Structure 1
Amino acid sequence: MEAEDLAKRWERLHLSEEERSCFHVKQDLSKEEDRRGKHCIVGRAMTEKGINSEAFRITMSQIWRLEGWVRFKELGDQCFLIEFQTLADKEKIFSGHPWFFDRHLLTLLEVDGIDSISELHFAYEPFWVQLHNLPLATMTEELGEQFTASIGHVIRVDIEADGRAWERCLRVRVVVDIHKPLLRGKWIKVGKKKHWISFKYERLQNFCFQCAVLFHKGKDCTRLRPEHQGEKEAPQQFGLWLRVQPRNTNVFDSRRYGGSDDDKKQYGEQ
């Protein structure tokens, strides 16, 4: 049920006196559960179809190769509560995303013992974004932060000790809104000359070629761009060229993707 429908239904409810009363949780119990919550994250596979929970548990356990145990509890709607034995394992996984299951993005959220699962909002996921065709003079930490702020919150810019990154591209770690279309690039003007800077997303897998939203794969997509409204076969505005392998590696890491041999062939040649 959509959040708006729930809100409207809630507005029509008239609570009894007993229902309006509030039960207060003992402080010591709340703290105990909060400590356990620090070992947990909630993950959701960004797919419109159901997934096999046992296959998810086995695959992700093999991919992550943790030091301690990990437990999975299915929450419904492709969501799982994931509890780690050690905080080190949890931090390793949380700091290493994006992760994928069966080529679907696995979004992760940190939780604590006092969070309500139903209130969790899966909206953002960090990606390394490569900026191509930048003039060398602009490949700095300061410009990288300012220029990619249009994508989302900038975590850091991959630069050398002197604050520059004079290479084939500038890499920026950015928090991407998974419900908005991926940005394909942006113009930049240096002096009197304009340059088109193309964005390429590392480890990007399934997404909609029609609207560039990560949440679905494009089948029966209804999010047509305004200029193509009413067209029977609107041209695809996005494609595989938005994907790119991580810099300084030519090896497809199947552990990270949980991918098949076909996945390796497709992405390993990029």
Structure 2
Amino acid sequence: MDDLTKRWKTLSLSNKESNTLALTKNNQSEEYVLIAKFFTKRNVCIDAVAKTFKTLWRTSYDFGIRDAGDNHLLFVFELESDIIKVLMREPWSFDRHLVVLTRYDGITPMEKVDFSQTKFWVQIHNLPFSWLTSDVAMEIGDTLGEVIKSNNVSEMIGGNFIRIRLAIDTSQPLCRGRSICFDDSTQGFVSFKYKRLPNFCYLCEMFSHDDKDYSLWRQSKGSLKVDDQQFRQWLHATQFNPLRKTVVDVKGFRSNAPSRHQGNLSSSLISNVSPREPSYCVKPVSESVGVVRSTSTDFEKMMELSPVKLDS
């Protein structure tokens, strides 16, 4: 059928075959569709996929799954907001293999759908303290892929590292790090770690196959060792909880200006702590002794008060 669809312009059509039928637009489906490519050599079981993603996605309304062939599936949603929620939480995997999702218009031929990008949180390690800023994260991220700007910049700070959300090109090997020049005389190397990184080839860093499917591995007949792998488990990022505070700014009693530490970690990267202003109080010991109250701003004046004499 596919071959006939591609070759029909070169065929001699009968009168019935060449009589064009204009379809009614009202009969066109108005459903919201994602198309998925499963990066695995194994056949995908649609029932197992349904059971897995029902639990992971927790959509508000129902969704259906249709087999599109060659490990491609169509996910048909009743609500567009469910699609948006699924795409915002990329990357996804099934049986530890990458699953790339993209919106589908229902018209584009399957072979022309682009599955070359998916989104990852990438951690950037080994940066000096003074370079742990959101601007540096954006600058380095631009060299890896399309930067997805975060509404909450505090998500980019992990204490001793910074992180950035990127649209990564899945048709290219993953990047392990980047050589960095900090100034005219200082250079270094920063390493990258990827959150929720699925299976990939440790020999060539591609998502499309595992180590044992790589041509170099097959040619070696199993003689390659772990030391021959250019990529290893250290590319997997440890679990990061943005709700857990790793950076806190404590303001002084005399200063209302922004902390200088915010300049180092970017203006919005710190979870500010606003300590409650203490109230200092001297309780009366008799009716002739009044109460002295002061905030921290006039605390010194209170300390300069002359001693109160008690009536005998």
Is 1:208 aligned to 2:189, yes or no?
no
Between the aligned partners of 1:139 and 1:23, the Cα distance in structure 2 is 63
The residue that corresponds to 1:233 in the other structure is 224
Residue 29 of structure 1: how far off its partner (Å): 4.7
Q: Is the Cα contact below 8 Å between 2:36 and 2:99 reproduced in 1?
A: yes
The residue that corresponds to 1:186 in the other structure is 178
Q: With CA pairs under 8 Å and 6+ residues apart, which has the higher RCO, 1 or 2?
A: 1
The residue that corresponds to 1:15 in the other structure is 10
Scaled by the length of structure 2, what TM-score is found?
0.65
Which whole-Å deviations, capped at 9, do the CAs of 1:66-92 have from their partners, x for residues lacking one? 221110001111111001121121211
Q: Is the Cα contact below 8 Å between 2:179 and 2:189 reproduced in 1?
A: yes
Between the aligned partners of 1:201 and 1:60, the Cα distance in structure 2 is 21
- Go from structure 1 to structure 2 and tell me whether the alpha carbon gap of 1:112 and 1:22 turns closer, same or farther (over 3 Å shift): farther
Q: CA RMSD in A?
A: 3.3
Among 70, 74, 88, which residue is 2:81 paired with?
A: 88
Q: Is the Cα contact below 8 Å between 1:203 and 1:244 reproduced in 2?
A: yes
Q: Is the Cα contact below 8 Å between 2:134 and 2:153 reproduced in 1?
A: no
Among 82, 88, 98, which residue is 2:91 paired with?
A: 98
Residue 54 of structure 1: how far off its partner (Å): 1.3
The residue that corresponds to 2:25 in the other structure is 28
User: What are the ranges of 5 or more consecutive residues in structure 2 without an aligned counterpart?
Assistant: 244-312
Is 1:196 aligned to 2:189, yes or no?
yes
Secondary structure of the corresponding residue to residue 244 of structure 1: coil
Which whole-Å deviations, capped at 9, do the CAs of 1:121-154 have from their partners, x for residues lacking one? 2111110000001123323333222212222111
Among 141, 144, 147, which residue is 2:140 paired with?
A: 147
Between the aligned partners of 1:25 and 1:150, the Cα distance in structure 2 is 48
Identity of aligned residues (%): 28
Residue 22 of structure 1: how far off its partner (Å): 10
Alignment of 1:1-270 (within 5 A): 15-16=10-11, 18=13, 28-29=25-26, 32-33=28-29, 35-36=30-31, 39-156=32-149, 160=153, 165=157, 167-191=159-183, 192-222=185-215, 233=224, 235-248=228-241
- Go from structure 1 to structure 2 and tell me whether the alpha carbon gap of 1:101 and 1:14 turns closer, same or farther (over 3 Å shift): closer
Which structure has the larger Rg? 2
Between the aligned partners of 1:159 and 1:166, the Cα distance in structure 2 is 13
Scaled by the length of structure 1, what TM-score is found?
0.74
Q: Is the Cα contact below 8 Å between 1:103 and 1:205 reproduced in 2?
A: yes
Between the aligned partners of 1:68 and 1:166, the Cα distance in structure 2 is 35
